[in-house]
Amino acid sequence: MSTIVLIHGLWLTPRSWEHWVPYYESKGHRVLTPAYPGFDVEVEALRADPTPIATVTVPETIAHLERVITSLDEKPILIGHSFGGTFTQLLLDRGHGAAGVVIDSAPPEGIQVTPPSQIKSLFPILNNPAKRHQAAGLTPEQWHYAFTNTLSAEDSKAAYERYAIPASGSWVWHGLLANLKPGKQETWVDFRNADRAPLLFIAGGSDHTMPPSVNKSNAHHYKGEGTITGYIEFPGRSHWTCVDPGWEQVADTALDWALRHAR
Plot region of 216 (φ>0 → left; ψ -120 to 50 → alpha; else → beta): alpha
Report which of 103, 104, 95, 61 is spatially closest to residue 76, judged by C-alpha positions. 95
Distance separating alpha carbons of residues 61 and 74, to the nearest angstrom: 21
Who's near 73: CB < 8 A, 6+ residues apart? none
Distance separating alpha carbons of residues 89 and 197, to the nearest angstrom: 10
pLDDT tens digits, residue range 79-107?
999 999 999 999 999 999 999 999 999 99
pLDDT of residue 196: 98
- Find residue 200's DSSP bridge partners: 101, 230
pLDDT tens digits, residue range 135-172?
999 999 999 999 999 999 999 999 999 999 999 999 99
Domains of the chain with CATH codes: 3-261 (3.40.50.1820)
- Which of the four pLDDT bands, split at 50, 70 and 90, describes residue 1? low
Please determine, for residue 177, whether its predicted confidence score (pLDDT) is greater than 80: no
Backbone angles phi, psi at 185, to 5 degrees: -95, 180
What b/e string do you get for 126-154 counting C-beta neighbours within 10 Å, with b at 16 or more?
beeeebbebbbbbeeebbbbbbbbbbeee
Tell how many helices (H) and how many strands (E) occur in the chain.
Answer: 11, 8
- Find residue 167's DSSP bridge partners: 136
pLDDT of residue 164: 98
